[in-house]
Structures are given as C-alpha cells and as structure tokens.
Structure 1
Amino acid sequence: MRRLFTEESEALLFKTLNYIPIPILLSEGLEVEGRRPSTHRVHHFMNHAFIEQLGYNINDIPDIAAWFDTVYPDPIIRNKAMLEWDNVVYASEKQGLSTAGFKTYIRCGNGEFRWFLITAQLTTENQSNLNIVTMRDVHQLQLLIEENERQSNTDLLTGLANRRRVEEVLAIAMKQSNLAHSSLCLVMCDIDFFKDINDNFGHLCGDDVLKIVAVQLQESAKSAASIARWGGEEFLIVLDNTEPESAALLCEHLREQIEQTDYRSYGQLMHFTMSFGCVKYQPDESLHSLLSRVDKALYKAKNNGRNNVVMA
C-alpha cells in the first residue's frame, strides 16, 4: 500500500478518525488510462464506525470495484448505482465542487439492506486523488419519508390511491394519451344504497363493505393505471391504453361479480350492487371536463335504476 502521509501523521490521522462515530473511508484514485481517478480507486482506511455500522473491513472491500460488487449483489441495480455515482462525481467535478454525494440502498455485512447518504470529498490539499468518504445511516429517516409519502397518497381505510394521487396519475395518463394518440378511459362507480348498509348494519359493516369492494376492484382491474377511492362510497378507475369496448366489458364484469356475490361482515349477510359510469378521454380535454363527464355518466346510471353501466 502506498503511504499517503508520513508514518507519524498517518497514525495520528487514523487514530483521530477512529473516535468519530460516523463511518469514514479513505480512498485514493489511481491514474488508469481511459478512466478518471475519481472512478478507479483503492481503499486505504476504514474507521471503527465504518466497520461496526456497515459490517465490512478493508479486506472485504479493498477497492471501489469490490465495493460495488459487494453492496449491490444484483447486477442490474449495481450497474445503475455505478452509473449514478459516476454521473454525480462527474457533475460535481465539472461544477468545481469539492464534494459529491447521493443516497443509496446497500447491503451491509450482516445481509441487511439499509439506506445510507454517501458523501465524498473529491479533493484534499496536497492530495488531489485522495477522497474522504463519509456514510450516514439514514435508513429510519428514509422509511419515515416513504411512509409519509404513502399515507399522503393512500386512502387509509381501503389501501387504494386517494383522490390526490389518482388525479396525479390521471393527469399523467392524459398527457401520454395525447402524445401517443392512445385511448384512455375513466370509470367512476358507486355502491348502490350505501346509506342503507350503514343504517341497517352499522358503520363498521359499511367500512368493511368499502374494503371488500376495494379488493374486488383491484383483483378484477389489475391492468388499471390507478384504482382509487374517490370519496365516500365512490371509486375511480383509470384505464390507460384501453378502448371503450374493453372498458365497458370490464365494468359489466365488475357489476355482475358484485351483484352475484353474498357478503358476510360482522356476522351479517349482505347483498348489494354497484352502478358504473365510463367515458373516453377526448384529446386535449381538461381534467375538470373529464371528471365532470364521468360523474354525469355515473349519475345517469343511478337515475336509470342503479346496478347498470352507462357509457358516455
């Protein structure tokens, strides 16, 4: 191993770094033809926090190639991570920044996968090819962020997408339909006489019915871009790349399936039906217009006696 400092200063540096509770790695870029030193590196030191928190020592990952092979066992994910890191480093160097960093999901020595924020100091005084790399465990924070995002996009009772999320999905599907000139259909459905279910069997049974319907919609419309609880007892289904004829068949299948099923909740045997409205998206139509038209289609289905499908 090439000595980066004098023996005395190196010993002092390593001793100092071992007191720091954040994982630290010292690596050196090598001059390799056709590759930048920032992407071809050997590792010289890991502090105690690195070994304890990540579960690897210098023999496990002596260089950056071994690092990628070890912490990203899946070759597809590994190649993606290598490309992302290379781009991050290149962008930082091009902007004249002294550090580069990104958040990544890696396998630790104990086999557990955790999120880490990796930051590399790209240049140090008198040691242009030396990187000081710090790794902060942000796993719990990342899980909290993901859970908050999930809850902000999910109806907590049914587990379906909520109104906010389905509007986002629908807006994207509309843009894609315009660009690809593909057919997009929107379905709004409603549990008939849902108030009677609540009044006769109680709100717990009513909630159970909503969850049962949500499962049936998910199982029968797996190809849908999104299935959401629109509000109350109403559901919205986004069918991208779907012709009206296929959308109508799906709606009729769902209507029959629900009509022919007996449901049991909290000891109560229930039977109910649903009404469906379906429309095809018109090129360059606004989100408000599309939602208004499908709402009117559902309203017409209910006015027609409920338990039927209206294509508009």
Structure 2
Amino acid sequence: MRRLFPEESEALLFKTLNYIPIPILLSEALAVEGRRPSTHRIHRFMNHAFVEQLGYNLSEIPNIAAWFDTVYPDPIIREQAMLEWDSVVYESEQQGLSTAGFKTFIRCGTGQFRWFLINAQLTTENQSNLNIVTMRDVHQLQLLLEENERQSKTDLLTGLANRRQIEDVLAAAMAKSDRTQSSLCVVMCDIDFFKNINDNFGHLCGDDVLKIVASQLQHSAQAATCIARWGGEEFLIVLEHVVPESAGVLCEQLRGLIAATDYQSYGQHMQLTMSFGCVQYQANESLQSLLCRVDKALYQAKNGGRNQVVMD
C-alpha cells in the first residue's frame, strides 16, 4: 500500500472532518517569543459545520488574534476572555491534561451572540502539528439553566427575590459590613390584616394585592440592595450603606405610601396599612440573630397597634 505524503494525509483529514456535524477548527502554533498563548496561533482549517453554525470562514478569522477581535467586539470583554482562556490553558497544563475547555458568549457571523462550549487540544503528535478545537452550541441549554436559576431565586407571584436569594444576599452584605465597617440595615414589613382580604374578597384578590405592594416597594425603595417576599404577606428589605436614621425615614415613606393608596382589585376598593420593623446589623452578628431581631421589631409594631415603624 502506498504511503500518503503529509500533504495528502492533511487533505484526507480535512475531507473527513467536513462530514462531522460539530464545528471543528484546526490551528497551528507559531514560535513567537514574548507572545501570550492566546495570540500566536494561525488557523489552517474550518469544517463545514463551523462555517455554518458560527458564520465565519477562514479568511475572516485567519488566526487566534482575529478570533478574539471578531467574536468579542467589546475590548473590555475581549481582554477578560483572553485572560480567562490563558488561565484555563495554564490550569489544564498544570494538571497534565491534553485538552482545555470553557463556556463563553460570543458573537457569530450573523451578529447574534450565542453560548458555545469550546474545547481545545493542547498537545499534538501529528506531523503537521495541528491542534483540534471543537465548539458545541450550548445556547439553549445555557438559557434553560439561567431560567431555572432565576426561578429558584425568585418569588413567582411577585417577581421579587425569594427567601433563598435574600438570605444569600444578606449573608454577603453582612460579611462586607464586617470588612468595611459600613452600616447595614434590615427591614421586615407585613400587610396588616391581610387574612381579611383573602377571607372577604378571595385569594385571587389577595394575590393581586401582594403583586401591587411588591411593585410599590420596588419603585419606592430603589436604594435597597434586595427586596424579597419573605413569606405570606411579609417582605424583607436589605439596605447596605444606610444608617438607621435614613432607614427609618424610608420605612415611614413606605408606610405612608401604602396607607395613602386606594387599592383596586377585581372590582373591590380597599385601604391597606403595613407595619415595619427595622434593625441595624451588629458586627459579627449571626444571620439567625439578625433575622430574629428584625422579626421581633416587626411584631412590636403589630402588637403596638399596626401601621407604624419600630426601630430596634
């Protein structure tokens, strides 16, 4: 059997790769001193799937530098992507791996940005010294993961953060407050006599009221780090870099806004009030302690006659 010359072997390889439905790029290293790994490779081949799915041909992206310039048009994001890729390559090499991969958001030839999972061969034993780079379109999967993550941290009725998310936000805010010695206040508020709304007008009306109140809190407490539906008719507000005096003023503004609103839902007119408890985070306090104190302040407001603010 006749042995193929390197050029014939390469041509056969290129022809074979064109039948594979996954985008494939073959690149070759250039020996250039002082250049970072992400900027000294030329591209030798792109299969049909690459051209079709990414929308670029070899003349448009002849080397890795052109790749970064083209798929990351924003210079800041481009620099971040280059640093991330260099880091991924370095870590893979340190672990003795033959490939490196990462997920990234790139601009395709159509102008659309999509998520791709990129895996690159780091070492090669073939005569032509070509490294294989595969790209898998994971855009829909990434969107699904992001939506699942969003829903896992969102109250589906009001669109506010849920208890899980605000506990994470609050824990991070507490740690930041300890590091920077900055003020941190937490507010818990509750719609007064909310059970009467459900009993007299129905749960659909009650749900509608919760959505309206949530919207009011979002609009009028824009300085808040996070606003969440804590549970039932209770809401929790995290105020970073806010001193107790300012937090108290905000609570009074919110209380007055709620009391002055003529709520209309499913043909019903009603007046609502809310009770507020507000506390300042104490250095090195536990999350449980902070939540217990703000809950206690809220119940002092409710037991004291409702429609008021209690600062602890």
TM-score tier, shorter chain, comes to: over 0.9
* Aligned equivalent of 2:301: 301
How far off its partner does 1:87 sit?
1.4
- 1:20 paired residue number: 20
Counterpart for residue 80 of structure 1: 80
Structure 1 distance, partners of 2:22, 2:90, is: 25
Answer whether contact 2:23 2:53 (CA < 8 A) is retained: yes
Partner residue, 1:284: 284
CA contact (8 A) 2:229 2:235 kept: yes
Structure 1, unpaired ranges of 5+? none
Give the CA RMSD over aligned residues: 1.3
Aligned to 2:173: 173
Determine the C-alpha separation between the residues in 1 that align with 2:63 and 2:146: 32
Q: SS at the partner of 1:141?
A: helix
**Residue aligning to 1:49:** 49
Alignment partner of 1:242: what SS?
A: coil
Compute the TM-score of the two structures, normalised by the length of structure 1: 0.96
d(CA) in 2 for partners of 1:18, 1:197: 66
Deviation (angstroms), 1:41: 0.9
Structure 1 contact 38–129 (Cα < 8 Å) conserved: no
The equivalences for 1:235-254 within 5 A come to: 235-254=235-254
The one-letter code of the counterpart of 2:86 is D
Once the 2 structures are TM-superposed, how far is the Cα of residue 263 of structure 1 from its aligned partner?
A: 1.6
Task: Give the 3-state SS of the residue equivalent to 1:235 in structure 2.
Answer: strand
How far did residue 88 of structure 1 move?
1.1
CA distance in structure 2 between the aligned counterparts of 1:151 and 1:137, rounded to whole angstroms: 23
Indicate whether 1:183 and 2:183 are aligned. yes
| Cα distance change, pair 51–243 in 1 and its aligned pair in 2 (3 A) | same
- Is the Cα–Cα contact under 8 Å of residues 30 and 129 in structure 1 kept in the other structure? no
Q: Report the 3-state secondary structure (helix = DSSP H, G, I; strand = E; otherwise coil) of the residue aligned with 1:120.
A: strand
Q: Is residue 37–residue 86 contact of structure 2 (8 Å, CA) maintained in 1?
A: no
Corresponding residue number in structure 2 for 1:266: 266
Distance of 2:128 and 2:77 partners within structure 1: 30
Matches within 5 A, 1:45-124: 45-124=45-124
| Alpha-carbon distance change, 129 to 180 in structure 1, aligned in 2, over 3 angstroms | farther
Q: How many residues align?
A: 308
Q: 1:219 to 1:129 in 2, by over 3 A?
A: farther
C-alpha displacement of 1:31: 1.1
Shift of residue 127, structure 1, vs aligned partner: 5.0
The DSSP-based 3-state class of the residue aligned with 1:73 is coil
1:263 partner amino acid: Y
Calculate the TM-score normalised by the size of structure 2: 0.96
TM-superposed CA distance for 1:39, in Å, is: 3.6
- Specify the alignment match of 1:234 in structure 2: 234
1:211-226, aligned counterparts within 5 Å? 211-226=211-226
Q: Equivalences for 1:189-204 in 2 at 5 Å?
A: 189-204=189-204
Residue type of the partner of 1:47? N
**Distance (Å, rounded) in 2 between the aligned partners of 1:96 and 1:291:** 48
Q: CA deviation at 1:46?
A: 0.3
Task: State the shift of 1:128 in Å.
Answer: 8.6
- Would the aligned equivalents of 2:186 and 2:280 in 1 still touch at CA under 8 Å? yes
Structure-2 residue corresponding to 1:150: 150
TM-aligned CA deviation for residue 90 of structure 1: 2.0
Alignment match, 2:255: 255
Q: Is the 8 A contact 2:259 2:271 kept in 1?
A: yes
Aligned residue in 2 for 1:208: 208
Q: Cα offset for 1:7?
A: 2.1
Equivalent-residue separation in structure 1 for 2:291 and 2:98 (angstroms)? 50
Letter of the structure 1 residue corresponding to residue 47 of structure 2? N
How far has the Cα of 1:178 moved from its partner?
A: 0.9
Q: Distance in 2 between matches of 1:36 and 1:82?
A: 9
Contact kept, 8 Å, 2:116 with 2:137, in 1: the verdict is yes
Q: Deviation digits for residues 6-61 of structure 1, max 9, x if unmatched?
A: 22111110111011110000011111120255541111100011011111111111
Task: After TM superposition, give the deviation of residue 129 of structure 1 in Å.
Answer: 5.2
2: distance between equivalents of 1:52 and 1:260? Answer: 59
The whole-number CA distance in structure 2 between the counterparts of 1:132 and 1:153 is 39
Paired residue type of 1:277? G
